[in-house]
Amino acid sequence: MKLGSFSNTRRLSKGTSLIEVMVSVLILSIGLLGIAAMQATALRNTQSGMERTQAVVQTYAVMDAMRANLTQARANAYNVGWTCAAPTGGALVNTDMAAWINSMKNTVSSDACGRVTCASNVCTVDVRWNDTRGTGGSATQTMTTVSRI
């Protein structure tokens, strides 16, 4: 009698290992998908952080150009509203601004724009770009630097 009940129990537990393996594979695959999603988010945020860093570098770059041409900078010749297009012309101010706008487009984002506002030897430089790909970024992400020249 005991022998028969043992074989019945054995017959009932025949696919249990397969179900356990399938559940384990399901849990593992969900975990791996979570890891892949975290990696994708980390890559997007790394790109966003690099753009923010480049925006800071670009604000200091135009400040340095203004300090190199101090007479024109103090005369507010570098003042420009939001612009996304590089100015043309042979003047040093236009050359500096064109180099700055082109550099922003190459390093920050192809849709980057800039603005310079100086008054009483205090200049504010703004860089704006689309940062929607980063977590918490906006379509009009702005980096501002204020400095006395």
Decide if pLDDT at 4 tops 60: no
Q: Is 120 left (phi over 0), alpha (psi -120 to 50) or beta?
A: left
Cα 104 from Cα 52, distance rounded (Å): 11
Question: What are the pLDDT digits (tens) for 69-80?
Answer: 999 999 999 999
Helix/strand/coil for 91: coil
Task: Output Rg (C-alpha) for the chain, integer angstroms.
Answer: 30
For the chain, give the longest Cα–Cα distance: 108
Phi/psi at 145 (5° precision): -130, 130
- pLDDT reported for residue 3: 55
pTM as predicted: 0.75
